[in-house]
Amino acid sequence: MKMEKKKLSSSMEDYLEAILLLTKKNGIVRVSDIAQLLSVRKSSVHVALKALSKKKLVLHKRYGDVNLTKEGKVFARDVQRRHDMFVKFLNEILDIDPKTAKEDACKMEHVISPQTFNKLRKFIEFLENCPDQDRPYCLQNFDYYYKTGERRKCEIGKI
């Protein structure tokens, strides 16, 4: 049985991701934990949880713990996977500082299409499995181009 894909706002995705992170960290998730992590008011968390409960993505009773449903876990893990991939791409491949990479990843994770995500994920895998020891030659050339504005001459066998 194929799960129907629900459309969520980036804010709702952030709530699911926060619940997943807090569950991994603490085991138990409370409204106040979510509010603190996302720097929002408890009342905002209650509104979000009510909406996510209607979509059957979270389980929450007033004054109780917050739990992801099976479908909620799938959504949250998907958001987390996109986030992690963008952090890795920005920080390790483009050499963006970690703080900026994390901030930008939080924005980018919500707008990427599945097709682009899969292609970018495969590109990262390709670079990670490159036979060059340290940084793949093509990325070394990009680093040089970024710093100098000049292209190096391509060497046969190093592509």
Whether the per-residue pLDDT at 152 is higher than 70: the answer is yes
Q: Is the dihedral of CA 85, 81, 116, 12 positive or negative?
A: negative
Q: How is residue 110 annotated by DSSP?
A: T
Kindly list the domain boundaries of the chain, sorted by start residue: 10-75
Four-way CATH pick for 10-75: 1.20.1090.10, 3.30.70.260, 1.10.10.10, 1.10.443.10: 1.10.10.10
Q: What is the mean pLDDT of residues 18-40?
A: 95
With a pLDDT cut of 70, the percent of the chain lying above it is 91
pLDDT tens digits, residue range 92-102? 889 999 999 99
Please enumerate, as own/partner, the contacts of 38-44 that have beta carbons within 8 Å and a separation of 24 or more: 38/14
pTM: 0.80
Lowest mean pLDDT among 14-28, 81-95, 134-148: 134-148
pLDDT-based confidence at 156, cuts 50/70/90?
Answer: low
* C-alpha of 111 from chain center: 11
CA 17 to the chain's CA centroid: 9
Average pLDDT, the chain: 89
Nearest Cα to 57, choosing from 73, 39, 81? 73
